Amino acid sequence: VLRNAVHVEEAEVEKCVRDVMKEKKIEQQDTGFKKNLHISLLQISGYKKLYLNVENLRKVPYDSENEEHEEQLIELWNLLMPHENLKARITKQWCDIGFQGDDPKTDFRGMGLLGLVNLVYFSKHYTDEARQILSRSNHPKLGYSYAIVGINLTEMAYSLLKNGALKSHLYNVVSGLPQLEHFHQFYCYLVYEFDKFWFEEEPESIMHFNQYREKFHEKIKGLLLDCNVILTLQN
- DSSP code string of 73-120: HHHHHHHH-TTS--S-SS-GGGGGGT-SSS-GGGGGTTTHHHHHHHHH
77 lies in some domain: yes
Q: Are residues 105 and 195 in the same domain?
A: yes
HSE-CB at 120 with a 13 A cutoff on CA atoms is 16
Share of the chain above pLDDT 90, in %: 77
Q: Are residues 96 and 29 in the same domain?
A: no
pLDDT reported for residue 116: 98
Beta-carbon contacts of 80 under 8 Å, excluding residues fewer than 6 positions away, are: 97, 123, 130, 131, 134
Angstrom distances, CA of residue 204 to CA of 8, 148, 193, 207, 217: 51, 19, 19, 8, 19
| Neighbour count for residue 167 (Cβ, 10 Å) | 17
Dihedral class, residue 176 (left if φ above 0, else alpha if ψ from -120 to 50, else beta): left
Q: Are residues 159 and 55 in the same domain?
A: no
153 lies in some domain: yes
Amino acid at 53: N
Q: Are residues 52 and 69 in the same domain?
A: no
**How long a stretch of residues is the chain?**
235
pLDDT reported for residue 181: 96
pLDDT reported for residue 126: 97
| Neighbour count for residue 175 (Cβ, 10 Å) | 13
Q: Taking a C-beta distance cutoff of 8 angstroms, is the pair 117, 58 a contact?
A: no
pLDDT one-digit tens code per residue, 16-28: 888 888 888 888 8
230 lies in some domain: no
Counting the structural domains of the chain, the total is: 2
| Separation of alpha carbons 207 and 204, rounded Å | 8
pLDDT reported for residue 235: 52
Q: Are residues 106 and 203 in the same domain?
A: yes
Mean pLDDT of the chain: 93
- Out of 23, 38, 59, a domain closes at 59
Q: Are residues 6 and 111 in the same domain?
A: no
| Separation of alpha carbons 49 and 111, rounded Å | 19
Q: Are residues 34 and 79 in the same domain?
A: no
